[in-house]
Amino acid sequence: MTVEEVYMAILASLTLGIFIPLVGNRLLDSSAGRLSILAPSLAALALSIAVLARCFDEAVSLWNGRLVVDGFASLLLTVLLFVGASLMAGSLFFAKSLPAPYSYFSITYITVLSAALLVSVSSVSVFFASWILLSVASYVIAGLEKNRAAADAALKYAILGGISTVFLILWIGTASYFGGDVLLGRASSTSSTAALLGIGGILLMIAVGFKVGVFPFHWWLPDVYTQVNGTLVSVLTGVVKIAAFAAFIRILTYSVADIGSPETLIIVVALLSALTMTFGNIAALTTRNIQRILAFSSIAHVGYLLLGVVALLSALSMGQGDRALASYAIAAMTVHLLAYALSKPGTFLFAGSMRTVLLEDVRGAYKRDGLASIAAAILLLSLLGVPPTAGFWGKLYLFQAALPVSPELVLLAIINSGISSFYYIRIVREMFSEPEKAEASASESAGAAAEARASLVVFSVLTVVLGLGILSAIVVSMTFYMP
């Protein structure tokens, strides 16, 4: 089979997954039924490994250049499918509590399907279609619970998401008018259009900033991540954010040549990086709500990722372009995205499955569920960047990539990492503290469901195994096609 045939088989498997949960209303009541829900995601995951083996060190163009499958795309595709399958497996018990449990799995499949397209996108039209599909699915996921708080959060998410789409359409107007639909291999713009395309790049940054939570476009994120159940949030932070940022990396790389001299865009991104990481970490210190802490932590991590964007833009604007630095910046962002994809969804899954709200609620969690608590602690340490976890390599590579172009920004990022240790360690300390006597008897049965516990263990084991140096060695040698 060709790469295109395997890729189409992956999309077909995910499409099939959308409809399987809707054929019956008793699938969650039997092992065979639960397996049938997960089967399409497992099949797609197996096929993605075949694509990864074929395309890790080469690039294949599909659909007349509208998709590019290279090491970057195939690696992130495999990770997204793994995270999606793991989260669906970990939420089998939780889904029974939803008013429409089978709709949850269908919407999750739609989310993963659109994410699979976004990581390979090199076309304005495919990007826009996938973005809209991903956005609508994420709004539905946020509003699946039938309660006022979740509904308000989902409405706020949808309204602000609609505003971000306006900026995206404005970018599409400039990108497609001056360069056509396919971004790959376009001729560089003239000086008369470079300024307009530079403005288009800023519009794209704003649109993506709304989606991933860049300050000051983060308004929706703390409320949604706090008021929606952590199990549902794990899909938003583990699939939606990774896919959106991956698409941003590829489109930005292909568009920089059109912009000409992107100094203004570099300054804007550097400023947003500094503000985002600083705001996220300081805000996380001011709350005792577990999911709100994790929400602000997510904002801070976007600030770290923007370090890689600064390095990438700087590398591509150097004369003919410093491809070595550009490739290293992309590899650094990929390592951090992979570490984040394993760690952040797991922490929200833990919060949702343990039914914790405040720091006091997580106190003595090891007494209720020791295995889940240990796994969650490992994931929190990975987010902090403690070796030997995957998160350590993500931050290290990002700092190294940005150091030659902005040492001041790297110093600020290191200071922010130190600030983040206060709230990460505070959560871990509470988890392994002795519970109050009244709490101990009231929470004996408040452990995580078996499915959620298994997913947490898998995430934590992979975080440590990949943190032994395997992840960095793999990613540094991957391909990212640059015209």
- Which pLDDT does position 441 carry in this prediction? 46
Q: pTM of this prediction?
A: 0.90
In a domain, 372, yes or no: yes
In a domain, 4, yes or no: no
Decide: 397 and 465 in contact? Cβ < 8 Å.
no
Residue 333 Cα distances to 149, 310, 422, angstroms: 34, 11, 24
Which residues touch 294 (CB under 8 Å, ≥6 apart)?
225, 344, 347, 348, 351
Return the H-helix or E-strand segment holding 68.
Answer: strand 67-69
What gap in Å lies between CA 12 and CA 71, rounded to an integer? 21
Decide: 44 and 84 in contact? Cβ < 8 Å.
no
Radius of gyration from C-alpha coordinates of the chain: 21
What gap in Å lies between CA 218 and CA 261, rounded to an integer? 28
Q: Closest Cα to residue 307, out of 229, 385, 223?
A: 385
In a domain, 29, yes or no: no
What gap in Å lies between CA 127 and CA 67, rounded to an integer? 10
In a domain, 197, yes or no: no
In a domain, 198, yes or no: no
Q: Closest Cα to residue 110, out of 239, 209, 208?
A: 239
**pLDDT values of the chain reduced to their tens digit, one per residue, 483 residues:** 788 888 899 999 999 989 887 776 677 777 888 888 889 999 999 999 988 888 777 778 887 778 888 888 888 999 999 999 999 888 888 888 888 888 888 999 999 999 999 998 888 888 889 999 999 999 999 888 878 888 888 888 898 888 888 888 888 877 666 666 666 544 455 555 666 767 777 888 888 898 888 988 888 888 888 888 888 888 888 899 899 999 888 888 877 755 655 777 888 899 999 999 999 999 999 998 998 999 999 999 999 999 999 998 888 776 555 778 888 898 899 999 999 999 999 999 888 887 777 888 888 888 888 888 899 999 999 999 898 899 999 999 999 999 998 899 999 999 999 999 999 999 999 888 877 654 554 444 455 677 888 888 999 999 998 888 777 777 777 767 665
Which tokens belong to 343? 């760690």
In a domain, 286, yes or no: yes
- Which pLDDT does position 294 carry in this prediction? 93
Which tokens belong to 318? 């150097």
Q: What is the DSSP letter of 99?
A: S
Residues paired with residue 60 on neighbouring β-strands, in sequence order: 69
In a domain, 427, yes or no: yes
Q: Closest Cα to residue 171, out of 218, 212, 208, 137?
A: 208
Decide: 226 and 292 in contact? Cβ < 8 Å.
yes
In a domain, 458, yes or no: yes
Look at the chain and report how many structural domains it folds into: 1
- Which pLDDT does position 408 carry in this prediction? 94
Domain of 413 in residue numbering reads as 261-483
